[in-house]
Structure 1
Amino acid sequence: MNSKLLLSTVAALVIVLSGCANGHLTNPQIGTAAGAVVGGVVGNAVLGGPLGTLGGAAGGALIGNELGKR
């Protein structure tokens, strides 16, 4: 795995999870964060480049949010 991708994924996850200062994450928030990370990795692997990573992260976040609501 590309070290830049790994570093940016970890940084994004830390930023997303630190946004909830009260420490009580809801299921949609957890789903959004997890979906964004997984989508970003998959988007980079399939399409490559920053556009693939961002597109995959956006799509994964939407799907993860919807799954978290259930």
Structure 2
Amino acid sequence: MARKISMVIVMMLLVLPAMHGQKVYEHNYLVKVGDSAPDFTVKEVGGKSYKLSDLKGKVVMLQFTAG
């Protein structure tokens, strides 16, 4: 019985932070189709920074990869 309770507690500790992260995503970072993108800054591998607002009027393509 104690083992089952321990497993439930461990599962809750793993799941609750993920649920909180989902709520933050839903409320703060969702951009709808047609909305302007929020201004942000990215840094390339060489160290040079690019700010979205500096590229206003130009075509910008973002590619996100993982790995």
TM-score normalised according to structure 1 size? 0.30
Greater relative contact order (Cα < 8 A, sep 6+)? 1
Higher normalized helix content (fraction of residues): 1
Higher normalized strand content (fraction of residues): 2
* Pair member with larger Rg: 2
